[in-house]
Chains A and B, each alone.
Chain A
Amino acid sequence: MADITELIHDYLRHNKKFPHVFCAGCGHGIVLGALIRSIHALGLSKDEVCIVAGIGCSGRIAAYVDFNTVHTTHGRALTFATGIKMANPKLKVITIMGDGDAMSIGGNHLIHAARRNIGVTALVLNNNIYGMTGGQCSATTPQGATTQTTPFGQMEKAFDIVTLAAAAGANGVYRGSTFHVNMLDRLVATAIERPGFNLVEIITPCHTQYGRKNKYKSAVDMFKWIKKNCVPKEKFDALPEADRGEKMPIGTFVEKDHKGLEQLYGELQARLNRPGRPVAEPEQPSAQHAEESRNIMNKEPK
Chain B
Amino acid sequence: MTKKAKGQTEITIYPDWCKGCGICVEFCPAKVLALGRDGKARVARLDECINCGFCERHCPDFAIVVRGKGRKRRAPACAENGETPVDKE
Contacts and interface: CB of A to CB of B under 8 A. Distances in A.
A131 to B, nearest CB: 14
A92 interface: no
A44 B79 contact: yes
A158 to B, nearest CB: 24
B83 A66 contact: yes
Contacts of B87: 15
A150 interface: no
A264 B10 CA distance: 51
B61 A29 contact: yes
Contacts of B9: 2
Interface in B19-69: 19-23, 26-27, 51-53, 56-68
- Interface size for chain B: under 10, 10 to 19, 20 to 34, or 35 or more residues? 35 or more
Interface residues of A, number: 46
A261 to B, nearest CB: 27
A168 B85 CA distance: 43
A227 to B, nearest CB: 8
B77 A10 contact: yes
A20 B73 CA distance: 23
A247 B18 CA distance: 31
Nearest to B56: A4
A30 interface: yes
B60 A2 contact: no
B57 A223 contact: no
Contacts of B3: none
A47 interface: yes
Given A4-B66, A18-B17, A10 B60 contact: no
A25 B60 contact: yes
A34 to B, nearest CB: 8
A268 B65 CA distance: 50
A60 interface: no
B26 A33 contact: no
Contacts of B88: 15-17
Given A220-B22, A220-B26, A30 B77 contact: no
A288 interface: no
A6 B74 contact: yes
B60 A11 contact: no
B3 to A, nearest CB: 15
B56 A5 contact: yes
Most chain A C-beta atoms within 10 Å of own C-beta, residue among B16, B21, B86: B21
A195 B60 CA distance: 29
A43 interface: yes
Contacts of B58: 30, 178-179, 181, 223
B60 A26 contact: yes
Given A24-B19, A24-B20, A45-B79, A19 B61 contact: yes
Given A15-B86, A30-B57, A219-B21, A2 B26 contact: no
A182 interface: yes
Given A9-B62, A33-B59, A219-B22, 5 more contacts: A1-B52, A3-B74, A6-B74, A22-B60, A29-B60
Interface of B: 9, 16-23, 26-27, 51-53, 56-68, 71, 73-74, 76-81, 83, 85-88
14 contacts: A2-B9, A7-B78, A14-B83, A24-B20, A24-B21, A25-B19, A27-B60, A30-B59, A33-B59, A33-B60, A33-B62, A181-B57, A181-B58, A220-B23
Interface of A: 1-12, 14-20, 22-30, 33-34, 40, 43-47, 66, 178-179, 181-182, 218-220, 223-224
